[in-house]
A and B are shown apart, each in its own frame.
Chain A
Amino acid sequence: MNLTLKVWRQKNAQTSGKFVTYKAESISEDMSFLEMLDVVNESLTKKGEEPIYFDHDCREGICGMCSLYINGRPHGPKRAITTCQLHMRSFKDGETITIEPWRAAAFPVIKDLAVDRSAFDRIQQAGGYVSINTGGVPDANEIPIPKVIADEAFNSATCIGCGACVAACKNASAMLFVSAKVSQLGMLPQGQPERWSRVQSMVAQMDEEGFGNCTNTGACEAECPKEISLTNIGRMNNDFFSAKLFREEGVHDHAQ
């Protein structure tokens, strides 16, 4: 199949970008979307032109490094998969495909289609953990956990940190991402000692990074490649208000 690509090209964060049109020719429908871009890049390289830069690594939908806003949707037209799992048979011969980076103030473009998602790391650093050191922990089976709780915590823990939720949200909110970690640890017995301070620290960092608030549109859930549910946001709000109203702990105590 032959395609026309409208690709966002931007040298770096300091310069402004623009759309550039490329032809993608003799594309096999068995190719993944990123392999199609590989083909385009090979031909650009042969012509001595600079290839299109995009983030990617595992190419099996788990590392969370790939992104891309494809025809107006994060990770493209199909549900519950990442861009690296999207195959060209999802497109029609002759189609024009628009490819953009994630758009959010908290995710500045670093080059072409890649953005800086380090804000996500900083939110995790603010409290996305159980404060225990290596060694000196109880035997694993001394902490029984009901299977339903363990399974639900697992569902929240499958977030890959790709940022599609932020890209999909009209407010560029990171609530789905933050709430997934808050929920995972908030449901498990191991997370209880820091439950109330954790949610405050992580939300404070989220706000500091410039992400928007949640207005319950649900685009994040619809576009999440791992189908993280909105229920997580509900749980986080519950914990957050509960902490603020009834269990106030100094946010900064958490760091000690």
Chain B
Amino acid sequence: MTLDAKIPQGPLAEKWSKHKFNLKLVNPANKRKYNIIVVGTGLAGASAAATLAELGYNVTAFCFQDSPRRAHSIAAQGGINAAKNYQNDGDSVYRLFYDTIKGGDYRAREANVHRLAEVSVNIIDQCVAQGVPFAREYGGLLDNRSFGGAQVSRTFYARGQTGQQLLLGAYSALNRQIHHGKVKMYTRHEMLDVVVVDGQAKGIVTRNLKTGEIDTHAGHAVLLCTGGYSNVFYLSTNAIGSNVTAAWRAHKRGAFFANPCYTQIHPTCIPVTGDHQSKLTLMSESLRNDGRVWAPKTVEIAEQLRSGKLKASDIKEDDRDYFLERKYPAFGNLVPRDVASRNAKELADEGKGVGASGFAVFLDFADAIKRLGQETVAAKYGNLFDMYAQITAEDPYTQPMRIYPAVHYTMGGLWVDYNLSTNVPGLYALGECNFSDHGANRLGASALMQGLSDGYFVIPYTLGDYLATIGPKAVDKTHPAFEQTKQDAIAHINKLLALKGNKTVVEYHRELGHIMWEYCGMARTEEGLTKAKGLIQALKADFWKNAIVTGENEEINAALERAGRVADFIELGELMVDDALMRRESCGGHFRLESQTEEGEALRDDENFAFAAAWEFKGENQPEELHKEELIFENVKLTQRSYK
């Protein structure tokens, strides 16, 4: 099987327009004969469902939460990029394209990224027209701020709640179509499998989380908009319910999973306080503009800090190691996310970490307060300081914050071609669920852009081409594949419910998270990954023997839901390790200790690894087969990042 990315011919800037013209259209009168299934109602899912319904298709949408408005897109803080050049500071579609390709460490497809930059401007127009209250200047026009990886101000924002406002905009568009009867919305439903008929996706199997009812739904196409898989690490900034199950089950039905090892770790999160911790909270990376990152110079002082004998303010200047300023004099505390994260971890591993657990370093505002005054610091970061105080009960104005890196985004996902189609015809993946636009590292404020680009402006065009090809004939739900897939899902649930061992599913999840964080986290080695593979396989075997799943199917059963998700995370974890083992280079969020520059930066191997790794499922407990999609760079020159 060769992977065809279906990248249109022609110059980069003309590919999308030409492609749109070449795509087949569905006659307006025929659109209502099609049913489209959309799984997930975050930015990608809600925008796709609403837009397809506006066009005239019948849409059936699903979410596991009690309302489509609760999808985890809602938690995005910072903003959304768009190449509007409202600030007259030299931004352009090409510059946004270039920054994104470079930020992704040259592991993304040029054509996709350029299209993303092109439609970014339409997204802002669309959201404003919906009534999304973006921040504005006194003159009444839109305000922008700058974000990492860019030298222009192109980020649109709504205070620290941009994701919420964008999602509520998409939710309102979705609501309008639900009201018109064009979208049938199923809440508290979880997708368990994809129905594949003669090689094409024709429906899904769902479980009603309220009643346990297992049902099948038929559609001419299935769109997975189910988000990322950061929760494979147990602790992440994702919502508790965020999971990989829909994407993973699709993978097991034939869809390739691409670059699973590309994960992004954010350096400034509130650290873990104990084993009871269920999730991590992000603190905006803007704090590093004024905060200084440090750790004690010696293990002895660190121990006294950990035991509470010393306070941070007791430590003399000479006993502090401002390690980012020391190692990266040019960029100092503002080195990129991956570099800052890795350095903090190294110190904690050496025993120089602080806080009760030892897994934290300080982010100190004392100098900034001395220089600017407390009032100015409060005006800039007040809400973040309050949030920190709320969670930790410490006052960051008098004691430095404790921070530690946390997983918060996954660049990998289902492999898709230029049309956002997986290799299974009729099965599409949008938003964080796919692998397409961020390469090995995502820039800040680009996730919201991609989710809405896919849903509002890409899929409404590309899906029509496929639908026109297969024709509007109703999907035959009596095909045995529907019943068979449903029975498979029921069997899987029964297998889970039969687990009456002695260890809770949460304990397995936590253990998986420890393995992934330790060996497949910020720094990876051949040896560690090999060890992790064995540990995960053992964990999987143990799970299916000793896990406890309480209750029954025919009720709300959180234990059962979690069990299904954790079982899938364990399998995904092994594939992530395989992918990280295979990729003997460092790039973006994937850092192999064996492959670094003299300054300790990620060292790519473009000769051997300039490809997207797409993995094919070959059966339970079988090694997956690797397919390579070579990445061809016709417009940008590949260079080495440096922060000296």
Contacts and interface: CB of A to CB of B under 8 A. Distances in A.
Contacts of B67: 64, 117-118, 120-121, 161
A87 B393 contact: yes
A190 B66 contact: no
A42 B562 CA distance: 13
A134 B128 contact: no
A38 B276 CA distance: 8
Interface in B68-108: 68-70, 72, 74-75, 84, 86
A145 B140 contact: yes
A42 B136 contact: no
Contacts of B424: none
Interface in A147-161: 147, 150-151, 153-154, 157-158, 160-161
A128 interface: yes
Which of B54, B187, B393, B556 has the most chain A CB within a 10 Å cutoff?
B556
B131 interface: yes
A59 B240 contact: yes
A17 B70 CA distance: 27
Which of B86, B128, B159 has the most chain A CB within a 10 Å cutoff?
B128
Contact of A49 (B50, B210, B550, B558): B550
Which of A29, A116, A145 has the most chain B CB within a 10 Å cutoff?
A145
A28 interface: yes
Interface string B285-324: 0000000000000000000000000000000000000000
B66 A118 contact: yes
A124 B180 contact: no
Interface string A114-149: 101110110011111111111101111101111100
Interface in A60-75: 60, 62-65
Interface in B486-514: 500, 502, 504, 506-507
A63 B502 CA distance: 33
Nearest to A154: B133
22 contacts: A38-B276, A45-B504, A59-B239, A60-B75, A60-B237, A60-B279, A62-B75, A62-B161, A62-B164, A118-B67, A118-B187, A124-B172, A128-B172, A130-B129, A134-B54, A143-B128, A147-B140, A150-B135, A150-B140, A160-B164, A161-B69, A184-B133
Nearest to A60: B281
Contact of A157 (B133, B187, B390, B460): B133
A51 B557 CA distance: 9
A53 interface: yes
Contacts of B129: 130, 132, 137-138, 140, 143, 190
B599 interface: no
Interface of A: 11-12, 28-32, 34-35, 38-39, 42, 45-46, 48-51, 53, 55-60, 62-65, 81, 85, 87, 89, 110-111, 114, 116-118, 120-121, 124-135, 137-141, 143-147, 150-151, 153-154, 157-158, 160-161, 184-185, 188, 190-191, 255
A57 B178 CA distance: 24
* 5 nearest A-B residue pairs (beta carbon): A144-B140, A129-B172, A137-B129, A154-B133, A140-B128
Nearest to B52: A134
Contacts of B277: 35
Contacts of B500: 48
B476 interface: no
Nearest to A49: B550
B241 interface: yes
A89 B125 contact: no
Interface of B: 47, 50-51, 54, 65-70, 72, 74-75, 84, 86, 122, 124-131, 133-142, 158-159, 161, 164-165, 168, 171-173, 175-176, 178-180, 185, 187, 210, 237, 239-241, 273-274, 276-279, 281, 390-393, 456-457, 460, 500, 502, 504, 506-507, 548, 550-551, 555-556, 558-559
B273 A28 contact: yes
A89 B393 contact: yes
A39 B504 CA distance: 11
Which of A28, A57, A150 has the most chain B CB within a 10 Å cutoff?
A57
Contacts of A56: 240
A134 B460 contact: yes
Contact of A141 (B126, B142, B161, B237): B142
A32 B624 CA distance: 40
